[in-house]
Every structure is written in structure tokens, then in C-alpha cells.
Structure 1
Amino acid sequence: MAYEAKMKITDNSVIEFIENVESPKKREDAYRLLDIFVEATGLEAKMWGPSIIGFGSYHYKYASGHEGDAPLVGFSPRKAKISLYVTTGDTEREALLKDFGKHEAAKACVYINKVADINTDILKDLITQSVSFLQERYPSQG
């Protein structure tokens, strides 16, 4: 049975997705993050799966043979917290997160409650650094 990637670009509207975020405050934060990510990457926002707003893409292949595509960076305004998909696997992430503001860090993302809790200049640095890291680590095969 072939593995079907859950995370792939869809034709769904980013704006429509944000408009359907239940919490008005989270919706406002999603628009703010959209502006920050577009400004930092210069890339168009695309929906990845049903709930991730992603920017750019890269193709990865692990030693195990598992491979797929993922956005270079992205975010998702989830019910509990906002997930920021930045700096996956980069060792410089910790230095940037030191002065980032209130957050929780996991392997693949950083969780925040609201944009007001973080330093948005550091977020821009995290975004640009993450894009550079992933483009260097997974150069385009094309």
C-alpha cells in the first residue's frame, strides 16, 4: 500500500481558511502572521492540507527512504495554540528563541498563544533563517 502524504498543497483559499477561524482574536493574529510570513519570505501563502498555511516548499528524503514535500515555513491558528513551523532541525534556533517571548518549542514547531506574546522581529529572523537552512540542506533537484 502506497503512503499518501497528508501534507500537500491544496487549492483551498488561505483567506477563506482564516475567515473560518472561530476566535476573532486568533483570526486577527492569523492575518498578522500572514503579513509577517509574506514579508519575511517574499513567497505566496498556500494551504497545505486542511489547516497549515505554508510558504515555499522543499523535497526531503530521509535515510529510511521516507520522502515527501513540506513548506519551508508556515503556521496554523489551531484552537489551543498557534503553531509556527520554523527552523526544523536547525541548531541556531535556540539562540533566536532565547529572546523570542512566551512560547513552547517542539521538534517541528514553536507554539504561541498570541502574536502579542512574541517579538515579531525575532520571528522574521526565525523565518528567514529557517528558509535559508532548509534550502541549503535540501537543494532543489530541478
Structure 2
Amino acid sequence: MSDMKTVETDADPHAFLAAVAHPGRRADAQAVAAMMQRVTGWPPRMWGESIVGFGAYDYRRRDGSAHRFFRVGLAPRKAALTIYLMPGVARHAALLAKLGPHRHSVSCLYLGRLRGIDMEVLETLVRRSVADMAALYPQPEGDA
């Protein structure tokens, strides 16, 4: 596989989340990570130095290079808690309208704090994202 900046590592995701400096961001990240683990059934894994991902899939880019990436994840950034929803958030416009205060890009949802976020809607977004990925990239047996 070609070199990518964000690859799975052996770092401890629980220690990473426990070390988040801002107590509110730390608590929010831990809550979302627990929800993602419960929803997906997959253990958290570190991807790069700052992303906690769940599950994995293999894909090829147009240039033919092979890569592996997480199926759903989060990163407790300084400005916002970033939620990674593959293969994108635009298809879930009706849910986004009910979520609460957020911003988004193609596959990233940016949450200032969980306060004001409808957690049932966020959980539904995670479930649908995982289902979308399963349809696009069936998971080989025994692979998370």
C-alpha cells in the first residue's frame, strides 16, 4: 500500500482521549467514542496521532494505489470535535437539520460541544454512515 499520513497505529486510544487538555472536549470525545464503539461493535483504534477510528476498509484510488482507512471516527480538535462520517454527510440533510449546532464539510461534522446536540440524531447519523460504508465496502469476515 502507498504511504498515507493517516494510518492505523498501536497507540492507546483511551490514553489519547484521557489526555485531551480541555475537560469539556475530553468528556465530549469520550462520550462520542463510547457511543461509536457501542453502535459499531468495533474497538477504537488510533489513526495517525489524533484520530480515533472504528472499523476499517480497503480501497484503491484512481491512481491505482491501495489504502486502508477507518469507517467512522472522531478527533478532539482544539476548535471543534470532528466526527468523520464516511462516505459523506450531505446525503443526511434531514438529520443534520435536527442535530443541533454544527458545521460540516464533505465527510466531517464539526461540533463545538455536545451541549445542544441531539445525541439520538448523532447516533442515527453514525449508524447510517456505517451502513452506507457496508454497502460500498463489504467487510471481509473477521475484519474490523
TM-score scaled by length of structure 1 = 0.90
In the TM superposition, what is the alpha-carbon distance from 1:127 to its structure 2 partner?
0.8
8 Å Cα contact 2:84-2:109 kept in structure 1: yes
8 Å Cα contact 1:59-1:140 kept in structure 2: no
Query: Does 2:104 align with 1:105?
Result: yes
8 Å Cα contact 1:88-1:130 kept in structure 2: yes
Counting only pairs closer than 5 Å after superposition, residues 76-115 of structure 1 correspond to structure 2 as 76-89=75-88, 92-115=91-114
Q: Which residue of 2 aligns with 1:4?
A: 3
The RMSD of aligned alpha carbons is 1.8
Counting only pairs closer than 5 Å after superposition, residues 1-142 of structure 1 correspond to structure 2 as 3-89=2-88, 92-140=91-139
Supply the distance in 1 between the matched residues of 2:89 and 2:22 (Cα, whole angstroms): 32
Any gaps of 5 or more consecutive residues in structure 2? none
Aligned residues with identical type, % of pairs? 31
Any gaps of 5 or more consecutive residues in structure 1? none
In the TM superposition, what is the alpha-carbon distance from 1:141 to its structure 2 partner?
5.9
* Alignment deviations for residues 92-136 of structure 1 (CA, whole Å, 9 cap, x no partner): 322221111100010121101011131110111111111111111
8 Å Cα contact 2:54-2:72 kept in structure 1: yes
8 Å Cα contact 1:10-1:49 kept in structure 2: yes
8 Å Cα contact 2:83-2:108 kept in structure 1: yes
* Alignment deviations for residues 67-95 of structure 1 (CA, whole Å, 9 cap, x no partner): 31111101000111110001423653222
Structure 1: 4+ residue segments shifted above 4 A: none
- Structure 1 pair 104/66, CA: closer, same or farther in 2 (3 Å)? farther
Higher mean Cα deviation, 103-112 or 82-91?
82-91
Supply the distance in 2 between the matched residues of 1:63 and 1:96 (Cα, whole angstroms): 31
8 Å Cα contact 2:89-2:107 kept in structure 1: no
**Aligned residues between the structures:** 141
Letter in 2 for 1:46: R
Supply the distance in 1 between the matched residues of 2:62 and 2:116 (Cα, whole angstroms): 38
SS at structure 1 position matched to 2:99: coil
